[in-house]
């Protein structure tokens, strides 16, 4: 998790002046705020990585598959390749309701329900594919984390070691809690995206629902 955040910070720091030049400085609010929160998240990532080593040493890959390498982030380009998915008005995605629904499923430990729900919402955002990129990234991360919780629990039971559910739930709850607030980045990015600048769109890697080899 810590490595993922450090890589994300590095990429966003490198791209910050590039976007600033393209946008006449309008993108700096997005880049600076994003980097700030990524650095802030390092405070919790260190202890989580240390805790996860207990299971990793026992062949249960807690926090090993939850995050996609930032090396899979799309290459930087100055403009979108096409106009498909660009909207003139900011998409009306009811993120507060999404948080409420995910929180309800989380409370009931319905992890497969979270997978199914987030998958449906992610598909709904395809009609405005150039926008809501940060929210979609968070939802993809939640979908994957929810899928992996049950795999980690099952493997721990087979190995007769303590369950990692508490650490996995902490991560998942943290992700659910930022769904609505992450929309602010998308709101700020929308005018730039309308102008053809692919900020955020090309700055996060796609997160598949499940890893290929677990």
End-to-end C-alpha distance for the chain, whole angstroms = 18
Over the stretch 171-209, which tens digit does the pLDDT of each residue have? 999 999 999 999 999 999 999 999 999 999 999 999 999
At residue 213 the predicted structure's pLDDT band, cuts being 50, 70 and 90, is confident
Q: Which phi-psi region, left, alpha or beta, contains residue 81 (left: φ > 0; alpha: ψ -120 to 50)?
A: alpha
Mean pLDDT value across the chain: 96
198-207 tens-digit pLDDT: 999 999 999 9
- How much is the pLDDT for 8? 95
pLDDT reading at 214 higher than 90? no
Question: For 59-90, what is each residue's pLDDT tens digit?
Answer: 999 999 999 999 999 999 999 999 999 999 99
In angstroms, the Cα distances linking 109 to 113, 144, 156, 165, 183 are: 9, 15, 17, 10, 25
Number of helices (H) and strands (E), helices first, in the chain? 7, 0
| Residue 204: count of CB within 10 angstroms of its CB | 22
Residue 18 host element (H or E): helix 2-23
**47-58 confidence digits (pLDDT tens):** 999 999 999 999
Residue 22 near residue 197 (C-beta atoms within 8 A)? yes
**Phi/psi-derived region of residue 124, left when phi > 0, alpha when psi is between -120 and 50, beta in every other case:** alpha
Identify which of 118, 140, 143, 125 has the alpha carbon closest to the alpha carbon of residue 204: 140
Other CB atoms within 10 Å distance of the CB of residue 21:
11
- Reported as a single tens digit per residue, the pLDDT across 102-129 is 999 999 999 999 999 999 999 999 999 9
Report the distance separating Cα 120 and Cα 116, nearest Å. 6
pLDDT in tens, 130-165: 999 999 999 999 999 999 999 999 999 999 999 999
Q: Name the token pair of 83.
A: 């106009």
H-type helices in 66-178, by residue range?
95-107, 111-124, 133-159, 165-177
């Amino acid at each position: 998790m810590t490595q993922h955040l450090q890589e994300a910070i590095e990429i966003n720091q490198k791209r910050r002046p590039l976007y600033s030049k393209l946008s006449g400085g309008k993108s700096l609010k997005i880049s600076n705020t994003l980097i700030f929160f990524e650095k802030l998240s390092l405070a919790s990532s260190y202890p989580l990585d240390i805790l996860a080593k207990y299971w990793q040493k026992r062949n249960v890959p807690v926090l090993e598959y939850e995050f996609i390498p930032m090396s899979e982030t799309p290459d930087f380009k100055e403009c979108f390749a096409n106009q498909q998915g660009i909207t003139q008005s900011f998409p009306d995605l009811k993120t507060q309701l999404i948080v409420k629904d995910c929180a309800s499923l989380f409370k009931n430990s319905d992890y497969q329900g979270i997978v199914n729900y987030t998958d449906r919402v992610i598909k709904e955002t395809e009609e405005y594919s150039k926008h809501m990129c940060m929210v979609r990234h968070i939802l993809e991360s939640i979908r994957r984390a929810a899928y992996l919780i049950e795999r980690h629990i099952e493997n721990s039971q087979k190995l007769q070691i303590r369950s990692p559910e508490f650490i996995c739930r902490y991560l998942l709850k943290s992700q659910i809690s930022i769904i609505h607030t992450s929309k602010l980045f998308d709101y700020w990015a929308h005018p730039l995206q309308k102008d053809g600048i692919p900020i955020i769109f090309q700055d996060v890697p796609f997160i598949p629902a499940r890893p290929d080899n677990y």
